[in-house]
Amino acid sequence: MVTLAVNGESRQMDVPDDMPLLWVLRDVLGLTGTKFGCGIAQCGACTVHLDGKPVRSCLLPVGGIGNRAITTIEAIGNTRNGAKVQKAWLDLEVIQCGYCQSGQIMSATALLDAIPHPDDADIDAAMAGNICRCGTYVRIRQAIKNAAAEA
């Protein structure tokens, strides 16, 4: 049995310790907002927060998570920065197909949590692990700046 703290709730499940968090979220808990993109931590589509820090859930075995708080895209809007990022994304119409955007929003929120007013180099460093095939990067960069500028 594995017990996880997901979006503020304690969840118990019978899964192997080495099972990556991504598949627990998607296939066991039905939290499908977190996406599968590559399975080797190359694309960032599976990004979630562990105690507020961004992690790639596709390579994170659930057995080692313990009681650290997991936050997914479904709950990130409950945080101040998460809501700001979501709003900035919509105001600027960042999204195209949207498949990678859960991961983009999780990474961007973690960036603002760590650096309230990131410059271009900060954005590059924090967001380079998130691939977007629709090519929304120009708007992602601007939306992060817009979110940071929101009071």
Query: Which residue of 73, 110, 112, 148 would you call a contact of another protein, by CB under 8 A?
Result: 73
149 binds another protein (CB under 8 A): no
> Is residue 37 within 8 Å of 78, Cβ to Cβ?
no
Of the ranges 49-57, 63-71, 73-81, 111-119, which one interacts with another protein (CB under 8 A)? Answer: 73-81
Query: Which residue of 99, 113, 115, 145 would you call a contact of another protein, by CB under 8 A?
Result: 99
CB of 104 to another protein, least distance (A): 9
SS (H, E, C) 77-131: CCCHHHHHHHHHHHHCCCCCCCCCHHHHHHHHHHHHHHCCCCCHHHHHHHHCCCC
93 binds another protein (CB under 8 A): yes
**Nearest to 13, CA basis, from 59, 70, 79, 76:** 70
Q: Is the dihedral of CA 87, 89, 93, 99 positive or negative?
A: negative
Query: Which residue of 11, 32, 114, 150 would you call a contact of another protein, by CB under 8 A?
Result: 32
96 binds another protein (CB under 8 A): yes
C-alpha gyration radius of the chain: 15
Q: Is the dihedral of CA 53, 54, 57, 61 positive or negative?
A: negative
Residues in 119-148 at the binding interface with another protein, rule: CB under 8 A: 123-125, 127-141
Binding site for another protein (CB under 8 A): 15-16, 19-20, 23-24, 26-28, 30-40, 42-43, 45, 72-74, 76-77, 86, 89-90, 93, 95-102, 105, 123-125, 127-141
